Amino acid sequence: MMSMPKILFLCVANSARSQMAEGLARQILGPDVEVMSAGSQPSKINPHAIDAMAEIGVDISRHRSKSTSEINPAGIDLVVTLCAEEVCPVLPGAARRLHWPIPDPVSTDPSLAPEDVRVRFRTARDQIKARIEILGSLLHLPEGPAAKEFHSSIRVRSLPDSVRFYAWLLDAWPKEWTHRYATFIRPDLKLNFVLLVSDGKELHHDTLYHLGIGVADKAAVVDAYQRAGAFGAHVEKPPRTTWKGTPLHELWLTDPDGNLIEIYARLTDAELSMKPADEAPVFLTPDDAEARA
């Protein structure tokens, strides 16, 4: 789980990019995260940075440029450097580090019109804002399923051509293949990768075109279901044991864009011996079993 209560944004002058980052982070990340900024050669806040932030309702007019010497490295959890063309300051310590190379909006080019300068600052502001929004989605992240394997299936036009390409890319022959699919296994990468020929014949979408995470056993699939509920993930199909095709304990989720995600575990020999005659799915949680009774 990633939890970072103290974040430091660094650039050279602490006048534009890191100051805008500090103001944006305070607004986006909220009061549960302590945010600060500094520079190796602090100067003063650039008025264009103040104006660019004011355009989106963030006031940094009371900020001041600070030196890295004012920062106690031992208290920082995450350092984000924002230099692109310059040599970034280095802060010692064991903090996690990210580098976002945002071009410096400050320019000494006298030919730039005032609006051109404003555009440069808006561009830097918006790029920093988008990155901080992603950072915010990663803070206080609950623990997910304990993955043992990653599975992906893609459709291809020519199975021989694609098998050749991926055998080269993955440095492995497929474990098995038919006239319609080929399966690559790379245990060292925890990878199970399937190529499916797009031959115009019907494919069952949610079993043959998706991403998947393999977990240890049936209990891990049920645990992933509970974690998904706590996280707020959309459950497409609750955990169940399926027998047709490759027998699996499986849970189906969808990501924010509707892409299907399968969390699965292979059956043990003892579990395989319990296959019902009609091969009907067996739901793994009492509430789901009762709802479908």
- 284 and 153 within one domain: yes
Q: Do 68 and 38 contact (CB within 8 A), yes or no?
A: yes
Q: Exactly one of 28, 56, 84, 88 is catalytic; name it.
A: 88
Residues 120 and 164 reside in one and the same domain: no
Residue 293 lies in a domain: no
Domain range spanning residue 194?
Answer: 149-288
Domain boundary among 139, 171, 201: 139
Residue 58 belongs to a domain:
yes
Q: What is the pLDDT of residue 202?
A: 61
Q: Are residues 131 and 154 in the same domain?
A: no
Is 20 found in the same domain as 75?
A: yes
**Residue 99 tokens, joined:** 């580098």
Tell me whether residue 66 is in a domain: yes
In a domain, 41, yes or no: yes
**134 CB neighbour count, 10 Å cutoff:** 8
Residue 170 lies in a domain: yes
Instruction: Decide if 144 is inside a domain.
Output: no
In this structure, the answer to whether residues 174 and 105 fall within a common structural domain is: no
CA-to-CA dists, residue 167 to 173, 175, 178, 199, 219, angstroms: 5, 10, 15, 21, 34
Q: Which residue from 63, 57, 77, 85 is spatially nearest to 15, judged by alpha carbons?
A: 63
Instruction: Please say if 83 is a catalytic residue.
Output: yes
What is the spatial distance between Cα 84 and Cα 82, in angstroms, rounded to a whole number? 7
| Catalytic residue (one of 8, 10, 11, 50) | 11
Same domain for 100 and 52: yes
Shared domain check, 90 and 11:
yes
Same domain, 179 and 264: yes
Instruction: Provide the number of structural domains found in the chain.
Output: 2
For the chain, give the number of residues. 293
- Is there a catalytic annotation at residue 88? yes
Last residue of a domain, one of 139, 167, 183: 139
- DSSP-assigned beta bridge partners for residue 75: none
Q: Say yes or no: 163 and 274 in one domain.
A: yes
Based on the domain organization, do 103 and 189 belong to the same domain?
no
State which of 106, 139, 172 marks the end of a domain: 139
For residue 185, the cross-strand partners are 192
CATH of the domain at 153: 3.10.180.10
What local confidence, expressed as pLDDT, does residue 269 receive?
Answer: 96
Within the chain, which residues score under 70 in pLDDT?
1-4, 199-209, 288-293
* Residue 1 domain flag: no
Do 196 and 73 share a domain, yes or no?
no
Shared-domain flag, residues 44 and 162 = no
Q: What is the CATH number of the domain that holds 63?
A: 3.40.50.2300
pLDDT attached to residue 1: 42
- Among residues 13, 24, 79, 83, the one annotated as catalytic is 83
In a domain, 54, yes or no: yes
Identify whether 112 is a catalytic site residue: no
